[in-house]
């Protein structure tokens, strides 16, 4: 399983396919554990997780000391109301991890459309200009962001780096 990573806000943001999608869930999980992300964001549906033999991904990731967030989006889709209610908190936590030098892994089934859309949104929210962020993202993952609706949602982000303040936990 390939992890496509780039520096963002002092940390590392990465996209990957769904662990287990190519038939080696234990190996993929080990690869993720060795990469040591602070947070893994799963954008696949529960049916996709189960279909890839990754139904226990959330617990498995957490067992390795990593925060896991499940925000399912249908394939080729865009965020629904549930996603949108949770996104501000997830985004803030991901940006905080990146600012602290941490790693954030975002995955969908193929590591392209949904994960690219969310990664681009996060990069813009972290303070990058949309065109620059897209160019950097597509330099490591040319298939990132597959549909116009995905691009529209990602680019609707507000740049928040100037107002984001780090607080101690």
CA distance linking residue 19 with residue 11, whole number of Å: 22
Question: Model-level pTM greater than 0.85?
Answer: yes
Q: What is the CATH number of domain 4-155?
A: 3.90.190.10
Angle at 73 between CA 109 and CA 68, to 5 degrees: 75
- Each residue of 83-121: pLDDT tens digit? 999 999 999 999 999 999 999 999 999 999 999 999 999
Query: Any idea where the domains of the chain sit in the sequence?
Result: 4-155
Residue 89 burial (C-beta neighbours within 10 Å; 0-12, 13-18, 19+): exposed
What's the pLDDT score for residue 159?
Answer: 76
């Amino acid at each position: 399983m390939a992890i496509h990573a780039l520096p963002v806000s002092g940390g590392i943001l990465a996209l990957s396919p769904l662990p287990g999608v190519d038939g080696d869930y234990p190996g993929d999980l080990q690869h993720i554990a060795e990469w040591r992300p602070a947070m893994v964001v799963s954008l696949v549906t529960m049916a996709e997780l189960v279909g890839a033999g990754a139904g226990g991904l959330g617990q498995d990731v957490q067992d390795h000391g990593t925060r896991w967030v499940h925000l399912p989006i249908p394939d080729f889709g865009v965020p629904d109301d549930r996603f949108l209610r949770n996104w501000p908190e997830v985004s803030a936590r991901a940006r905080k991890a990146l600012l602290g030098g941490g790693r954030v892994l975002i995955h969908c089934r193929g590591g392209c459309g949904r994960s690219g859309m969310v990664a681009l949104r996060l990069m813009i929210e972290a303070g990058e200009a949309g065109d620059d962020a897209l160019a950097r993202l597509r330099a490591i993952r040319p298939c990132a962001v597959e549909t116009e609706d995905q691009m529209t949602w990602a680019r609707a982000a507000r740049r928040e780096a100037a107002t984001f303040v780090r607080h101690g936990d």
